[in-house]
Amino acid sequence: MKKWVVLIIGLLFLTTNVFAGWDDTVPNALFTRHFNVSHADLTDADTSQDITLFTIPAGARVVDVWAYVSTAMAGGTVSAVTMAVGDTDADGLAEEHDVLGTGDGVWILEGQNGTDKGDYLYDDTVYMRPKIYTSATAIKAQFASTTDNLVSLTAGEVEIYILYSEPK
């Protein structure tokens, strides 16, 4: 319940502050995209893999990214797995965060600070800022391990949420 209240208050703030400066005669649509990435999606026989989540259209603005570790990554001799979200800058939207040692049922990347948000969304002030895309761009989640190949994972799932707006 608390998360939903925070989300609703955040959306009210965003619609009145973050989108100020857009042409008020053009309606803007606000979307939340949801993606599930499981251990079965991590098929690379090396220590890092990018998963393309979607292609954001030109003119869109990413406002926030957060994630939920429904089942912590586990398996093989993997002792550390991180996930970051970005584009050509792998952690531009969300900094690397542990998805193995967090445990099950844990929200990550929900903080409004430089520890969770990437440089695109947080500028070391009290304000978040949207990342504006001038051309269609692939948004990716990057998974990395320091101890074993990702294909060795036998369990784990992360839900990724991306809040963005695009002009209509």
Please tell me the pTM assigned to this model.
Answer: 0.81
Work out the average pLDDT over 52-68: 93
Tens digits of residue pLDDT in 6-17 = 445 454 444 444
Report the C-alpha gap between 62 and 3 in whole angstroms: 20
Task: Tell me how many degrees the CA angle 47-40-136 measures, rounded to the nearest 5.
Answer: 75
Distance CA 157, CA 145 (A): 15
- Work out the mean pLDDT of the chain and round it to a whole number: 82
Note the pLDDT of residue 90. 87
Q: What is the pLDDT of residues 16-38, one digit of tens each?
A: 444 444 444 444 678 899 999 99
Examine the pLDDT at 114 and tell me if it is beyond 70.
Answer: no
